[in-house]
Every structure is written in structure tokens, then in C-alpha cells.
Structure 1
Amino acid sequence: MPEGNMHDLTFSDPSQVSWACEALLSGRTIGHSDEIIEAQGWRLAAIVHRLKHRYGWPISTEYVGPENRACYKLQPGADRAALRFPPSAKGLADRRKGDAK
């Protein structure tokens, strides 16, 4: 397995990464509690960081509530067709291409 893929798998389960990508693409604002409940994960901040900095996703962060909880969403007007996908979410990119045909 190439080293880049090992890095993706080391820190976050592929299903959690795919869940985060799908949730953001659907227009949702997601937070850590969403990931815990829906994807049984604990690393949303790390996933978002990687999507933003490694794959160039335009994700905005808003801090809400007295706990200053981070909530993430894809920025309005983001060019979804130009997004690069991590290996575990390639199926989402392929599915979106099929929808555009």
C-alpha cells in the first residue's frame, strides 16, 4: 500500500472519512457529536483538517454554544465538481460524476 494511503488509514477509519465527505456534500453542517452518533468516530477535526489542507476543500468552521463546539460546512458556492477526494471517498466522486451524465 502506498505511504499516502497508509496515512489516511492510520488516523481515521475510511468509513468515517467517507461519512464526513458525504455529509458536507449534502449541505449539512456537522460537528463532533454528529460523527460520534452517525459514524462512530472521534476524529472529525482531523478529517476536516486533512480535507482542507491536503485536498483543498473549502470548509468553514463556526464555533457555537457556551462550549465553543466546532461545526463544519462546505462553503456556499463551492465548486463541487473540482473537489479532490481522499481514497476512502472516491466512490462519492464517481457517483457524483454518474449523476451529472
Structure 2
Amino acid sequence: MANSDRWYSSTTQVFWTCKALIEGRTLSTRTEIREVNGWRLAAVCHKLARKYHWPILTEYRGPENIAHYRLAPGTDISRLKFPPSAKALSEGGAQ
């Protein structure tokens, strides 16, 4: 695996993020920590947006300015490119 392809977060977290976003969820780091003990949500969302062209919206909430991520309304899930660890989602699998 080339260094540029390395995510520095587990494939489980990448899969979880993709699955949650296509399910229409809004995610924050608190959600990620609670559900998958992860700390790399911002990095995963950044990579999905830049490398895979996912239309991820970021909203900063509260006095701590905590980032919340979601897919743009009207996103056609069938047109998204998926990272290797989440390819099963593009095929309708791994529920």
C-alpha cells in the first residue's frame, strides 16, 4: 500500500463513516467515539470529500464549535465512489 493511500484510521472506522453518511446520519466526533472508539472522523470525511468527491457538508455547532458532518441533501448514493474498505456498501451489501 502506498503511503498516500494510507488513512491512519482503521478500515472499520472508514466503513462505519461511509455507512452512517449514506444512511442519512449527521456525525460528530462524539458519535464516532461512542459508537466505534474512533478519533479520525474529520480526516475520514476530508478524504471522502477530496479523494472520492463525496458532497459532505460541515456545520459547526455549539460554543465549542464542534463539527457535524452529513451528506448534502439529494445526494445520489448510487453515484458515489467508495474507498476499498467500504466497497461492499456500493453493492448494497454489509448491512
TM-score by length of 1: 0.86
Task: Give deviations 1:60-97, integer Å, cap 9, x for gaps.
Answer: 0000000000000000011211100001101111126x
**Cα RMSD (Å):** 1.5
Partner residue, 2:88: 91
Partner residue, 1:7: 6
Partner residue, 1:20: 17
Equivalent in 69, 73, 77 of residue 74 of structure 2: 77
Dislocated runs of 4+, deviation >2 Å = none
Percent identity between matched residues is 49
**Runs of 5+ in structure 2 lacking a partner?**
none
Q: How many residues align?
A: 93
TM-score by length of 2: 0.91
Q: Distance in 2 between matches of 1:47 and 1:23?
A: 12
**Runs of 5+ in structure 1 lacking a partner?**
97-101
Counterpart amino acid of 1:3?
A: A
Q: What's the offset of the Cα at 1:4?
A: 6.6
Q: Distance in 1 between matches of 2:74 and 2:5?
A: 32
Q: Distance in 1 between matches of 2:76 and 2:3?
A: 25
